Structure 1
Amino acid sequence: MPPHDFIHHLNIWLRSGLGAQEGDRFELVSPREVHAHFRGRVFRSLFQPQIRRGGEVVCHEALLQVLTPDGVGVSPQTLFEQAGDEEAVALDRMACKLHVLNFVRQRGRQEGLLALNLGPQTLLAFDGEQDRIFQALLGDCGLSPRQVVLEIADHGFEDCASLATAIARYRSQGYRVAIDNFGRFSCDMERLETLAPDIVKLDRCLIGHAGHLGFARRVLVELCAEVRRLGMQLVSQSIESRQQLQAAMASGVDIFQGHLIGRPARQCLPLGQVAARGDCGMPV
């Protein structure tokens, strides 16, 4: 489907949503970039690369950049915190569609993974019609659900059974699911086993301490071993120093992400490219 047709159909969806305002729209601003105008703000996509051992880029996590009409930055976290549950779900769905469009325009139809952040409220707000719209968008863009990683920050407070059911539903549709920021609030392995994600992303507090304290390094090694025992892939994020990278590698982490690896940018790195290997100390 031509990009203008994509955007036409998505604008129909956007304007029929909760609290739609005059001017809400997706806009093709260049051959390689789409913006969204939503509730008087401008939304853009940023992409941060993830690399595996050896340094090859295998995935990009999509991050939302929010601007006022005059170009002043707005914190996406604050925006979501101030929104009600229904509005936060609408924002999440809009952002996911925006990121898919920009990801495909950046890197074409080659193989690779796109990680999208979802709030627990969005994951639990089952809507079959919205699922079909999103899967149709993926198909028209040449992506399969298997190329999409849905990242959920589990605070350990949500109802575990309902969250596990939602995760299982998306996995059955072919999506990969990652638990984000694991270890920030708890390291409950029983809860993690019940949720049964494909991927576990370690919180920055773990790798931050592991880069400096011998005891924390041992804790990280033991934690990674337990997660791997459950058959889940490990991602260490917030890698900002060689010391942190070395600690993560020694712990058995599979994939690495952080400013040392690559900062969020409007352009994706080519898949398979070695990302800053010399700078970040990846083994040749």
Structure 2
Amino acid sequence: MPLTELVHYFNKRNRLVRGTAEDEGFRIVDGRVQARFGGRVLGTLFQPVAERVGGLPVGHEAHLQVLEGEGRGLPAQAVFLDARDDDELIHLDRVARTLHALNFLLERAQQGGFLALNVHPQLIRAVRDHHGHVFESVLSRCGLTPDRIVLELTDDGFEDRARLAAAIGEYRERGYRVAIDNFGRHSSDLDRLEALAPDVVKLDRSLIGHAGHLSLAKRVLTEMSAEIHRLGLRVVCQCIENPLQRQVAQDAGVDWLQGHLIGRPVPHCLPIVQPRRPRAAA
């Protein structure tokens, strides 16, 4: 479906289902999709995630950007603090992910790469079941399938494990991949991690921050990566900002790297280089 028709469809659906105002919704400006919500104009930035060896991009994480209105220049997650109730927060979360999917659709360079999207923690608490069902219909309209998506969920280690595990299970049953974000900030409970059964674990920035300076922290990072691999999960080291941190992460054996040294959040994706197929024997 052409982009203009997609934007018209999503705007019409939101007005019918949510009763949103005429001045809210998606619009196309200079070849990019923007979303107007709560007096703000929101956009998308993409940050690459790269292989540990070779540094080639394998996918991108989408970040929300405040283009106009209150909060411009501040972390975009602060936008969610203005949600009046769970219903509005869930709607905003889905608007953000739809916005990112539409902009990802515009990127020719992303063929073959994944799109990582953050899911607000409150959505897991507020939505009882059928996780990923609504967004699956959004992806279908955009010509994307759940296997192209990595949904990032933050676990503080104190929430109801059963509910989070159930949500992850439902996402994975629909074909999404799931990442636990900021692992090691609040808890590094490997038994809990095994019970949650995600596909990817993104290590908290505090681990690599210390690992760049302290040999003890470097050893902890290496041992943690090995234990996570033992569970059959991929490991991402975030916030790589200097060559020393990159070397530490590479030595620790993580799978993927992310951070300003690898690539800052920008409006467009980096090209995804497909592995070459071996030539058939003559």
Judge conservation of contact 1:138–1:144 (CA < 8 Å) in 2: yes
Counterpart position of 2:37: 38
Runs of 5+ consecutive residues of structure 2 not aligned to the other structure: 275-282
- 1:279 is aligned to none
Which has the higher mean CA deviation after the structures are superposed, 14-23 or 97-106? 14-23
Runs of 4+, deviation exceeding 6 Å: none
Further displaced range: 236-245 or 117-126: 117-126
| CA 136–171 in structure 1, closer or farther in 2 if over 3 Å, else same | same
Match runs of 1:160-239 below 5 Å: 160-239=161-240
CA displacement at 1:134 relative to structure 2: 2.5
Other-structure match for 1:65:
65
- More moved, 132-141 vs 253-262: 132-141
Paired with 1:118 and 1:72, the residues of 2 have a C-alpha distance of 21
1:4 aligns with 2:4: yes
AA paired with 1:46? L
Q: Taking every aligned residue pair, what percent have the same amino acid on both sides?
A: 52
Q: Which runs of 5+ in 1 are unaligned?
A: 274-284
Which sits farther off after the overlay, 82-91 or 251-260? 82-91
Separation in 2 of the partners of 1:201 and 1:169?
20
Q: Distance in 1 between matches of 2:158 and 2:196?
A: 13
8 Å Cα contact 1:203/1:237 also seen in 2: yes
Between the aligned partners of 1:71 and 1:88, the Cα distance in structure 2 is: 17
Alignment CA distance shift 1:215-1:94 (3 Å): same
Do the aligned residues in 2 keep the contact of 1:45 with 1:64 (CA within 8 Å)? yes
8 A contact 1:58–1:271 mirrored in 2: yes
DSSP-derived class of the 1:45 partner: strand
For residues 152-210 of structure 1, give each alpha carbon's deviation from its aligned partner in whole angstroms, at most 9, with x where no partner exists: 11111211000000000000000000000000111011111111100000000000001
Map Cα deviations across residues 54-97 of structure 1 (whole Å, 9 max, x no partner). Answer: 11111100000013349943432222234233222111100000
Q: State TM-score, norm by structure 2.
A: 0.90
Higher mean C-alpha deviation, range 54-63 or range 118-127: 118-127
Q: Secondary structure at the match of 2:106?
A: helix
Q: How does 1:86-105 map to 2 (within 5 A)?
A: 86-105=87-106
What is the RMSD of the two structures over their aligned residues, measured on CA atoms? 2.0
